[in-house]
Chain A
């Protein structure tokens, strides 16, 4: 979906149409969750501090998010997808992979399906979407980002190699900011640079993900569209009104986060074994500390004790703290390598 949250706000409030709009926190420390295309022209983008966004675009209309509405629209779109195929893998509220190799409408062309879905989304939700079509998830995702908003882009099999060779490394789906920076340092700027490196060299440089990079540089991605993608972590975080400088304040705020997180863990019914504390300092430097325990974190008392332990490892002597976050991962029934070791039957 194009500028999903912001588009919904513009749809529901005619006064916002055609104007730069940002959905996000209005408070002093608010952050932009989504920006309309009018706002993006000014350089406003998601995850930007609202304060900075206003500086870039003084006329920016800031709207508080209405997640209930977004969730409703998201379900509406899902329903449309499911009329074409059951192989729908949601990436977020407004993005999903669809495997239409076999589809319920018996359509022969993925492009036709994409056009039809786009039209239906427009008719039923009054919103626009962009679609990317190609032979695998990696290429489809890149294609969908290629021609926004209201776009439709196809990378046909015979053009895959050429397309990737010319693609900037920063645009690769699955290559994050940090990896992209590392690649630039190594002289890898475009797909063809990545392709020129040996598999063993990439493994040496990047570890296991090196194999993935080797494959995508050749357009190979055999990951299936998985409708039951399991959640890998559950988290909660708070950005504070005012930066915190004392341990006492941190403990109080962390307690609130622990409460929220425990509720989410219980709701998901998936306790984990690794707890991670994220700290963002006033200068935006971010650090994490984590702890993995033998037993799943199922009780608040456990979560509370481990959180406190992690907080003790945080240095607050030099910098104030802007944000605290907690997450659990290593969740139950995460797809781990099956334990092949047999056990004695005592």
Chain B
């Protein structure tokens, strides 16, 4: 097996797929990239068994087909040090010796038999559902929701993004039981209703590679696995097993108190005031009356306190409500509009946040945050 490849092109592909490799691998072979050469196309695979990411590079100069597993770290580390130049890989498939010839030297690595690398799972034909969506929609769905996923060993279904398909729309949902995000697109969907839960890690891998894609993404899934087929990549993920909790029942439909405020101003004030909040609770209080919002925090242990008063538009009853500042700040940083609407009911019920101006006509963003008790 022999091929010539640009050092920087190879590195960029390796860096993208190497994010899959886990430092806590149980199988030693997974510390390798799988190189597969056929038809003048090089396919590079990395996997942690849960997620597998595959990239393809077309080659001009290649001979002999085959596959080999090459240690990921040494290859990555070495390539980082090369200036742009063609590298010639010569691989002996009998003893798995890999020789990389550069302009000025020769580098030797010993690989392993490519057939020892775990096989990709097959989708069950009778259960398989496939659909297409634009890469922008998939990216927006993941980017808007991934921050709200949980890290809860006891409820694994919460540790991923719930993707719900219907003829009218496509919905992404994530929640850690304190906050919840629902991102809905009306310009995507499937003929039949179905759903799956994508774990956080493959979702974050997609978030990383999708910006470089412009075409449609083909998604195929059954009850165990999903394939995301992109132009340059293929991601295969095991899905989270189990039923996602009924999220619609926790979204309040009649929060009568409505606040509209400049998002960046609100965000910056929160960041300043939250420095003065109790370090364990991160509690900040919002007191809303008239057309003003008073944001305050205090830490009795250190005798520090702060407040800021901002103008806003408020249509509702005078109210004092507490939130964990880091959650509220996180939510505001994941909204891009100039103004946000906050809909409240009472100090013990969920608050809803919406962007005022939509980024896309076909999108519907809803963020929910549970308050904190304020002991009066």
Give residues in A with beta carbon < 8 Å to B. Answer: 199, 203, 208, 211, 294-295, 337, 340-346
Contacts and interface: CB of A to CB of B under 8 A. Distances in A.
Contacts of B322: 340
Nearest to A199: B303
Contacts of B175: 344, 346
B263 interface: no
Majority-rule SS of A interface residues: loop
Interface in B238-294: 245-247, 250, 280-281, 283
B372 A342 contact: yes
B246 A344 contact: no
Contact of A343 (B178, B246, B283, B303): B178
Contacts of B302: 203, 208, 211
A208 B370 CA distance: 30
Contacts of A342: 178, 348, 370-373
A341 B326 CA distance: 12
A115 B7 CA distance: 89
21 contacts: A208-B301, A211-B301, A294-B153, A295-B153, A337-B280, A337-B281, A340-B281, A340-B373, A340-B374, A340-B375, A341-B281, A341-B372, A342-B371, A342-B372, A342-B373, A344-B175, A344-B177, A344-B250, A345-B250, A346-B247, A346-B250
Given A294-B153, A295-B153, A337-B280, A343 B301 contact: no
Contacts, number: 46
B324 interface: yes
B350 interface: yes
A270 B123 CA distance: 47
B206 interface: no
Contacts of B29: none
B180 interface: yes
Interface residues of B, number: 26
Contact of B283 (A208, A340, A345, A346): A340
Majority-rule SS of B interface residues: loop
Contacts of A203: 302
Contact of B178 (A199, A295, A341): A341
Interface of B: 153, 175, 177-178, 180, 245-247, 250, 280-281, 283, 301-303, 322, 324, 348, 350, 368, 370-375
A346 B246 contact: yes
Given A337-B281, A342-B370, A344-B368, 5 more contacts: A211-B301, A341-B178, A346-B245, A346-B247, A346-B250
Contacts of A344: 175, 177-178, 180, 250, 350, 368, 370
Contacts of A211: 301-302
Determine which residue in B245, B302, B322 has the highest number of CB atoms from chain A within 10 A of its CB, and name it. Answer: B302
A203 B178 CA distance: 33
A340 B177 contact: no
B301 A346 contact: no
Contacts of A340: 281, 283, 322, 372-375
Pick the 6 closest A-B CB pairs, nearest first: A346-B245, A340-B373, A342-B370, A340-B372, A344-B250, A344-B177
Contacts of B245: 346
Nearest to A208: B301
Nearest to A345: B250
B293 to A, nearest CB: 20
Contacts of A345: 250
Nearest to A337: B280
Nearest to B349: A342
A345 B250 CA distance: 7
A163 B178 CA distance: 52
A223 to B, nearest CB: 15
A259 to B, nearest CB: 27
A340 B374 CA distance: 8
A172 B372 CA distance: 39
Given A211-B301, A294-B153, A341 B324 contact: yes
A323 B301 CA distance: 37
